[in-house]
Amino acid sequence: MKKRRKSLYSCQSCGYQTPKWMGRCPECGGWDTLVEEVVTEGDRFQAAPSATRVAAPEPESILAIETLEEPRMPSGIPEFDRVLGGGIVAGSLVLIGGDPGIGKSTLMLQALDGLAQNGRRVLYVSGEESKGQIHLRSQRLGVSSGSLLVVTEIHVDAILSLLETQKPAAVVIDSVQTMYNAELASAPGSVGQVRETTMKLMVAAKKSGIPIFLVGHVTKDGAIAGPRVMEHMVDTVLYFEGDTNHIFRVLRAVKNRFGSTNEIGVFEMRGGGLAQVPNPSALFLAERPESAPGSVVTASMEGTRPILVEIQGLVSRSGLGTPRRTVLGLDSNRVALLVAVMEKKIGMNLAGLDIFMNVAGGVRITEPAVDLAILAAAASSFLDRPLPEGAVVLGEVGLTGEVRGISQLEGRAAEIRKMGFTHFIVPESGAKRLKKIDGLKVSGVRHVAQAMEILF
């Protein structure tokens, strides 16, 4: 039967398809996300071909399955290997996303150079830059290995042929939104193209054992552009976070089949590329003001790593009819909840005051274990009294004002002691099970009012 062509409009955010164009996607609610894609199909009345019977594989007991523990490849960047779970796994498919200019391509080029310095043959595939542009960037970064091969190509079938002929130890695709599959009529970057090219690269990685890194663009909401199924297909999803106005960059793992999730690596952007930061706590607290009202130090767990950060609060008189609530690096809804707890349970009248909260260094903290530190920063600024010297505040706060227990207190306490702090204010339930540490005073609190008495 003769095939015919027709158009479908696909949402670039969620993959919803409709035969007519609409300004707003009815599935995800995105505006101006429907893009026309040309598809070819046979006559709808054509009879389906007879299905051929496929031999089913024989099931095997999970106890009888033999696994070979393959060593991981070190990239030469310990912070990058830490986020991956200890190194690069053979045959893995890794997706890394981030804002434009955040340093994704820089990090990938430095990681490939680290592999090439160890005598491995690696391949950098670019669909956005020319070879001359990549060479200029490599000179700035100090990349000097001849085993790092560079090619500019967007056809996924040509890239798969390169993998068979060159047999590299690792491959970087920059970026997956520029890859093109000739079997589809849609343009590169569309939902169908991103889904199919990712599927082909995943199959190639598993068959050949070559680890492939996919650099992905992000939308204005911070999510990786393309269908959500792409994040389900890959083995690891990394997000490169940070403000372009700050020199610090945080590489965070949100999915990892070969290691811990929410693990982070901290980098510093310099003229010669990204430099790893082995001790982030010292870097984030380097310029902390001494005895300043509104400044509180807390310990946040990022994967398996405790990091000390400074939370700053500023409470001031408002000249507007509606007070401002500006929050950077924290959950604004969580801060509003804690302000309500302060008014109700401690008696601080903050209704007509502007409240500004910030995490110094451009870090973003989402765990509720820093609730008590947020509350202490706001109270310190409101009372215009600094916290006691050497104090670190930690604990989750409930709506009734109770201070709830948190996890991994031992690791946080060890980091606090290493950084020279002497007083640890924690939930009472955690203080009971925390082992005694020389030089560290531990105060357990059950209610926010009790914490305010100790601090002020």
**What residues form the annotated binding site for ATP?**
98-105
Rounded Cα gap, residues 210 and 167, in angstroms: 8
Q: Tell me the sheet residues that pair with 267.
A: 249, 276
Angular region, 420: left φ>0, alpha ψ -120 to 50, beta rest = left
Kind and range of the H or E run holding 237? strand 236-241
CA angle 183, 186, 191 (to 5 degrees): 100
- Report which of 223, 264, 281 is spatially closest to residue 420, judged by C-alpha positions: 281
How many secondary structure helices (H) and strands (E) does the chain include?
A: 12, 21
Listed in sequence order, the DSSP H helices in 54-155 are 78-84, 104-117, 131-141
* CA 81 – CA 74 distance, rounded (Å): 7
- Short-list 257, 308, 316, CA closest to 286: 308
Residue 335 has, within 13 A of its CA and on its CB side, a CA count of: 27
Q: Where does residue 53 rank: exposed (0-12), middle (13-18), buried (19+ CB within 10 A)?
A: exposed
Annotated binding residues, written as ranges, equal 98-105
Residue 14, SS3 per DSSP: coil
- The identity of residue 109, as a single letter, is L
Q: How far apart are CA 56 and CA 171, in angstroms?
A: 34
* Structural Rg of the chain based on CA atoms: 26
Q: Residue 94: which H helix or E strand, with range?
A: strand 93-98
Classify burial at 185, counting beta carbons within 10 Å of its beta carbon; exposed 0-12, middle 13-18, buried 19 or more: middle
**Continuous H helices in 152-279:** 156-166, 191-208, 229-233
Angle, to 10 degrees, between the axis of helix 371-383 and the axis of helix 448-455? 50
Measure the CA–CA gap between 147 and 145, rounded to whole angstroms.
5
> What are the residue ranges of helices labelled H in 223-289?
229-233, 280-284
- Looking at residue 8, what DSSP letter applies? E
The residue count of the chain comes to 456
Q: Which of 243, 105, 112 is nearest to 171 (CA)?
A: 112
β-strand pairing of 248-256 with 353-359: unpaired
